[in-house]
Chain A
Amino acid sequence: MPIIEAKGLTYTYPAGTKRAIENVSLKIERGEFVILTGPSGCGKTTLCRCLNGLVPHFYSGKLEGDILVAGLNVSKRSVQELARHVGLVFQNPENQLFALFVEKDVAFGLENMGVPRHEIRERVDWALQMTGIEDLRERAPHELSGGQQQRVAIASVLAMQPDVMVLDEPTSFLDPLGAQKIFEVISEVNRKLGITVVLVEHRLDLASRYSNHVVIMHEGRVVLDGEPREVFQSKKARLIGVGIPQATRLHHLLEESGLRLGRVPVTSEEASQIIKEVLRRD
């Protein structure tokens, strides 16, 4: 059974005039690393809000269609109950962190869930270790760098041991090396713990290497859904104007000029390898 399954999902914000998402159907299997992308205003963030029940419970308005996350019907379950299964990491960690100590921030969700004290301690230690910030436990979150803050936000979500982690452009305030480190933390959580990752991202050059499933939305609808290579090389993806990785674009330009390269690269290493093979064979 898929961990996330949406059927004919349609939603309009109470004050909105047009549908934020329209007839979205989607299946995500347990353990997948999904990149969700698409032009600004395409409904990515709204879809994420459907995964943990913020839509429709917090934003109100009518959600049509069905969405099941970890076997739970989102429309019928409370945000609190869904929070045990789906963790959300925001774009700007400033909007998420509030405690005086990192440790307290990471423990907050568990305290709210009524987890016993000794277990909270264990899970906080574990989450800090997984995200590589044990040395920051007694620091104040607002004194940390953007990258460190985002790790704290991820640790707070991780401590809840969710089935699904949803991250809405978690690296956009970070420099490229900082962003890469965050992607590596997310990828490790995905590989080692089997937590399903849904990552909203525009920086496909940096993120694609970690993903095995790409979903592209456009004007509220899912328009492409599949394996990264297939999605990125499709004409539709180019037309919508998402930031297809340069490696894939270069491949396309070369094929257009009559150079047959065979496999489609997503990362720079793959592109170098494929180009090398072709140039040497000739």
Chain B
Amino acid sequence: MIEIKDVFFTYPNGVEALRGVSLSIPDGEFIAIMGQNGAGKTTLVKHFNGLLKPTRGEILVDGVNTQKVSVATLARNVGFVFQNPDHQLFCETVEDEVAFALRNFDFEEKVIKRRVAWALNLLDLEEYRKTSPFMLSGGERKRVALASVLAWDPQVVILDEPTIGQDHKQKERLRQFIVQLTAQQKTVIIVTHDVEFVAECAPHVILMANGKIVAEGSARQMLTNLDLVTQASIAPPQITQIFLGLTDLGLPTDLIDIHAAKEALLDFLEANP
């Protein structure tokens, strides 16, 4: 459980990035934080593993105040995958990269071996085991960063823009293992601009603007509310946009899912032969 209590944060250069954020995230929850560039999304999630400490207010992770413990202690429970994998990768091979944190946490060598194999398999990286991360494409490096965090099995997984550079197939894999993680009562928090991904995964959505939470609710409620969507500088999913162009026919305007969209159109045809 993560509890955020009236948190303010000001960067040393004077930029006030968070201005009174309160939120509580129960275990096993899947949350997407969305909003404009500069809205404070990344600043907020960097508080969850103690990388940043509130200027005012407090954050409790499983009852522990992040002010009072080190990042290293928090990291055991809260894994963070950065937006830019190059901020995270540095080992000579993919395998070493994925094993790095496990060695730091003093896991036994045979456990490390098993965990590394598991994570490489999960992220479709086995063929690159001995390759340097810097020889890989942007999308592949992103998956290495993810594998290296998932390998130590943290309770909370924070993914900053996990779909950048990922193709359709990889996004579907990502969606599936987020489902798996939440089924094990792990908390998954993504920061994303990818409305199509959010429409497909249907997490609980938090919309931020100017350092504050402006709204929260289901993906469907949030993404089909034009005022909110505009405020957060995102665009509704293409399916919603198609149906917004069909309002004069009396079709629903709150659809985000392509299959629901198909059913709605076929129902309409049946009712209006």
Contacts and interface: CB of A to CB of B under 8 A. Distances in A.
Contacts of A253: 258-259, 262
Contact of B238 (A174, A247, A273): A247
A46 to B, nearest CB: 9
Interface string A9-48: 0000101100000000000000000000011110001000
Interface in A243-282: 243-247, 249-250, 253-254, 257, 259, 268-269, 271-273, 275-276, 279-280, 282
Contact of B137 (A40, A145, A175, A245): A40
A241 B169 contact: yes
A259 B165 CA distance: 34
B193 A175 contact: yes
Interface of A: 13, 15-16, 38-41, 45, 91-92, 94, 145-147, 169, 172-180, 202, 205-206, 241-247, 249-250, 253-254, 257, 259, 268-269, 271-273, 275-276, 279-280, 282
B37 A145 contact: yes
Contacts, number: 140
23 contacts: A13-B135, A39-B167, A39-B170, A40-B137, A41-B136, A41-B137, A45-B137, A145-B37, A172-B165, A174-B193, A175-B193, A175-B234, A176-B195, A176-B234, A177-B36, A202-B167, A206-B235, A241-B167, A243-B171, A243-B196, A244-B168, A246-B238, A275-B246
B266 A259 contact: yes
A275 B167 contact: no
A139 to B, nearest CB: 14
Contacts of A39: 167-170
B254 to A, nearest CB: 15
B35 interface: yes
Contacts of B167: 38-40, 202, 241-243
A177 B235 contact: yes
Contacts of B246: 272, 275-276, 279
B238 A268 contact: yes
Given A40-B139, A259-B266, A272-B242, A177 B234 contact: yes
B262 A40 contact: no
A41 B136 CA distance: 8
A273 B35 CA distance: 30
Given A254-B266, A279-B246, 16 more contacts: A13-B135, A16-B135, A39-B168, A173-B83, A173-B161, A176-B233, A202-B165, A205-B238, A241-B169, A241-B172, A243-B167, A246-B239, A246-B242, A279-B269, A282-B269, A282-B272
B260 to A, nearest CB: 11
B261 interface: yes
Interface residues of B, number: 51
Given A39-B169, A175-B233, A246 B196 contact: yes
Contacts of A257: 262, 266
Contacts of B238: 205, 245-247, 268, 271
A169 B169 contact: no
